[in-house]
Structure 1
Amino acid sequence: MLCPLAIAVGQGKHATMKRAFLLAGLALLAAPLRADPAEDAQVYLDRIAALDDAGPQLNAVIAFNADAPELARQAQGTLLGGRTVLVKDNIETVEWPTTAGSLALAGNDTGRDAPLITRLRQAGGVVLGKTNLSEWANIRSTRSTSGWSAVGGQTRNPHATDRNACGSSSGSGAAVAAELSWAAIGTETDGSITCPASVNGIVGFKPTVGLVSRTHIVPISHSQDTAGPMARNVADAALLLNAIAGTDPADAATADADAHVTDFTAGLEAASLSGVRIGVMRKQVGDSAKVAAVFETALEDLRKAGAQLVEIDYDFPNELGRDEFQTLLFELREDLGAYLSGSPADIPIRSLADAIAFNQDNADREMPWFRQEIFVQAEASTDRRAYEAARRNALHLAGERGIDKLLHENDVAFLIAPTTGPAWPIDLVMGDAYEGSIGAGTLAAVSGYPHLSVPMGAVHGLPIGLSFIGARWEDAAILQAGAAYERARSASIPRPTFRRWQEQ
């Protein structure tokens, strides 16, 4: 599908390709990547042409840089050595407009890099392009379809192209799974890194809120938003985190980041689970027997690796979801308004109210499938005292009375559960069929604590992730645990088929 951002640097990005070129691209599926970063970059560009623009048309990448091979060549010898990174299109990069998936921001060409992108480039990372996302990071409607935006259309899961890639970092997750780049950067408010990682069969890491700058990222919530790495293994995710983590004077939440920045790749190869006490969140496995079976295999792998598994009895308090939602509504109106009013680009909206009006005026293009009832609720959320009480209680329930209490009372190093269920069918008419009874990620999202999802197997060929959740600033320890589990894992992880699920 063509879209306003479907322009490569120096050349057009075509929606259809000749069949011969498609077949050549599909032959790349089994081709190993080369040691030369410039050659790697070209392989990724060829795969984007063959798999994203043509063939299964994943719609994961909405803009790419045709000069990436030369940039990769120039970056050899640096921390990242010219490795290519795709960036979710709510994060500003100097090359392209930053749209958050909305046509209202099609001209949001700010001419600046977000600080995390500046760090990425300084570390030798090459910004390969921008990825599609759930429009406005999936907070416009309760009936939304994850991975759909007016700018980029519908992202498809490479493991089953008629199934959802989850949101809102759907394009980043699908692109990494399809090997359209070495890695990608996503953002999360609640589940938007870890869910697409799980259903696309990759690694996704939501770091402690405040470890990575949020400046020049289209926001939802300053309390919960963070960017994070998405990659095909824990070591790559940790290496990308090395490049983007650190204090940003413009983001007060990152004031202590430099004190917690370390070499996140250190110790990964030798990390052991022997004697480590792990809290098993049994009630967060959900009702699916097939998901439970995959989880049991992961538990047995952990036992064989020497871990001591401790059963955790926990029920989510009803008021946690209520107060999180009230927090997000209030902060969306204020934080998004501040971003829009401060953009140096010539854009037609400067507030949430303007965005609502734009959507109404352009309903045929912006709201053909679902409406904007959450936006309307957020615009009416003006009671600061009620908001502050809700945020205090949500943070208390998720942090002090949630993760902190569970870790302390059970004397465990971290908590585990399935990340989410298998990918559901794409349904633009009815919206997402997300299985909310599986997973414990909301605790990490609301508290701002680290959350890692690592592939642990599959249900009928659809990937399932294993979540590792820990205490604030325990990012390195969580990554080490994930790396140790990767080595102990006995389950096979499916490869993308690039076909509809019912055709497999």
Structure 2
Amino acid sequence: MLIKLTLGLSLMTMCLSFKLSANENTPVTEQRSQAIKEIVQQSTIPQLIQAMKANQLTSTELTQFFIQQVETLNPQLNAVIAMNSNALGIAKQLDEELSKGKIRGPLHGIPLLIKDNIETKEMATTAGSLALKDNFTHRDAPIIAKLRNAGAIILGKTNLSEWANMRSERSSSGWSAVGGQTRNPHDLNRSTCGSSSGSGAAVAAFLSVAAIGTETNGSITCPSSANGIVGIKPTVGLLSRTGIVPISHTQDTAGPMTRSVVDAAILLSVMQGVDDKDAATKIARERMNDDYIPETSKHSLKGKRLGVLYAAPLAHEHVELLFNKTKKVLEKEGAVLVEGLSTEPYANFYQDSYDVLLYEFKATLNDYLAQLPNEYNTLTLKKLIEFNQTHAALEMPYFQQEIFEKSQKKAKLTDPSYIKALQNIHQATREGGLDKMLKEHDLDAIITVTLTPAWSIDRINGDHFTGSFSSYPAVSGYPHLTLPMGKVHHMPVGLSVTGGSLSEKELIEIAYRIEQLIGYKYH
């Protein structure tokens, strides 16, 4: 069950950058708030917009409701770092436009939260680090501009694993020096996973309609599974990465985190597109006119060939039972399950994968920092290491910066060792991995379990992963969707659906039908 906290909890417990807006505005009444909560819990984005069109709800009420939700729940969750002081004003403007028959797009009046490594013009982009605490770029990342053009309200910024979990090998997911420790709304003592920790917790706890996360390897899918929501890690290049604090130009992508497959499809449709500043997005030209929103009419999995991949979470006997139950539901629907699939990485695969990220992190981060339109453009990875050493009491009270230091020692991206490692991991995950499985077994998609139930938070020793699936779609750059499959004890467990490059439309249609069959309730 989601936590229920009483109104009036002090915001003084929030970490130093949390700035709540609109306190001067009169809150909606308790009775109306409850009515709005019921609408939110039962509605997809199209249904919310329909309620606005029918004068059953206004964007202003919806935005104020989420502001109150953040005021009430965030002191315990630490899911939100900053709020947009202009959110209510934007909502009122959108209400006025709607009253005159103008609808900007499929997100008209919908409040969203954004991971705090993505630039938004009103708020700082910190990546959770005190070194970027006041990094106001006064610009929107292209994906944020697309969301606004579609009518979305940028409600605030979410907490994350600092530097998207690219600082220490012993980190606690969801902890940042700016935002503190994010907590799972299903159990405050358990992890949200990461690095899109705040986005996952916020959506699960109804702090916004939906959120945007980023992933390099598991940072959307893992917190989506841990918090019991839908997450899509798209094909790398389908969405622009400009204006996002980077790790890897070969693996980074943003993606939607929502309470339904339909909502995730809408956000993905809005955010996709070519960006001349991001060479990887040339791949998006093949999908410029794609609408990922599944038809609302009944889908069927009859005849769909789904490869069943063994992944580490299945070593947990209760996870295996839940997965087996799900497979029976799919077979009853008529899906053809092809059992016995497994990934077979070569001996040095995981070390090569790590080395590639170490090389790329130094190069891409230094390039991003140098192009900031403010005083932070003199920063480098070397200077960030020095900053953390100087501010160790605040930045490194629980874990250090081994990843930073290892990355700093790496050579340029022209190094033959980097080029060879990148070639090897791409061959292993593409031609010799996912593409091979899909082709040999004539599969429509591959399914497995995303993650075991979330572990207990341990900032002293770090995360206690006991099994997850993300590396092959992450390294290959292929899409990976996760949706709630059910719970083990009281904690959510996600079902992964993955496929080849640019197969989002097919994966979403399959996931949409699975969602209908499983009937997972988000409230």
Show the counterpart of 1:114. Answer: 141
Task: Determine which of 368, 379, 398 is the counterpart of 1:339.
Answer: 368
Show the counterpart of 1:423. Answer: 454
Distance 1:141 1:224 in 2: 19
Q: How many Å apart are 1:320 and its aligned residue?
A: 2.3
Show the counterpart of 2:336. Answer: 308
- 1:361–1:458 Cα change, 3 Å: same
Q: How many Å apart are 1:488 and its aligned residue?
A: 1.0
Distance 1:149 1:264 in 2: 34
Asked if 1:78 is matched to 2:109, the reply is: no
Equivalent positions of 1:433-452 (< 5 A) are 433-436=464-467, 438-439=468-469, 441-452=470-481
Distance 1:248 1:286 in 2: 39
- 1:9–1:349 Cα change, 3 Å: farther
Of all paired residues, the percent bearing the same amino acid is 46
| SS class of match (1:8) | coil
Task: Determine which of 25, 30, 39 is the counterpart of 1:32.
Answer: 39
Distance 2:24 2:405 in 1: 37
Contact 1:143 1:370 in 2 (8 A): yes
Asked if 1:62 is matched to 2:88, the reply is: no
* Structure 2 letter corresponding to 1:399: R
Show the counterpart of 2:281. Answer: 254
- 1:81–1:208 Cα change, 3 Å: same
Structure 1, unpaired ranges of 5+: 14-19, 496-504
* Structure 2 letter corresponding to 1:461: H
Task: Determine which of 336, 350, 354 is the counterpart of 2:379.
Answer: 350
Distance 1:138 1:358 in 2: 17
Q: How many Å apart are 1:213 and its aligned residue?
A: 0.4
Query: Displaced runs of 4+ in structure 1, greater than 4 A?
Result: 9-13, 20-30, 492-495
Distance 2:256 2:453 in 1: 21
Q: Deviations 1:85-144 (Å, cap 9, x if unpaired)?
A: 100000000001100000000121111110111111111111010000000000111100
Distance 1:463 1:349 in 2: 43
* Structure 2 letter corresponding to 1:220: I
Show the counterpart of 2:129. Answer: 102
Show the counterpart of 1:3. Answer: 15
Q: How many Å apart are 1:332 and its aligned residue?
A: 0.3
My pick for the range that moved more, 139-148 or 257-266, is 257-266
| SS class of match (1:255) | helix
Contact 2:116 2:157 in 1 (8 A): yes
Contact 1:4 1:106 in 2 (8 A): no
Q: How many Å apart are 1:27 and its aligned residue?
A: 6.1
- 1:363–1:68 Cα change, 3 Å: same
- 1:23–1:387 Cα change, 3 Å: farther
Contact 1:223 1:448 in 2 (8 A): yes
Q: How many Å apart are 1:73 and its aligned residue?
A: 4.0
Number of residue pairs matched by the alignment: 483
Distance 1:104 1:3 in 2: 15
Q: What is the TM-score when the length of structure 1 is the normalising length?
A: 0.91
Task: Determine which of 156, 162, 167 is the counterpart of 1:140.
Answer: 167
Asked if 1:281 is matched to 2:309, the reply is: yes
* Structure 1 letter corresponding to 2:363: E
Contact 2:262 2:294 in 1 (8 A): no
Contact 1:91 1:98 in 2 (8 A): yes
Q: What is the TM-score when the length of structure 2 is the normalising length?
A: 0.88
Contact 1:268 1:479 in 2 (8 A): no
Distance 1:157 1:166 in 2: 9
Equivalent positions of 1:378-417 (< 5 A) are 378-382=407-411, 384-417=415-448
- 1:25–1:331 Cα change, 3 Å: farther
Contact 2:203 2:259 in 1 (8 A): yes
Q: Deviations 1:372-431 (Å, cap 9, x if unpaired)?
A: 001111011116110111111111111111100010111111111000111110111110
Q: How many Å apart are 1:37 and its aligned residue?
A: 2.3
Distance 1:111 1:494 in 2: 35
| SS class of match (1:228) | strand
Asked if 1:160 is matched to 2:182, the reply is: no
Q: How many Å apart are 1:64 and its aligned residue?
A: 1.3
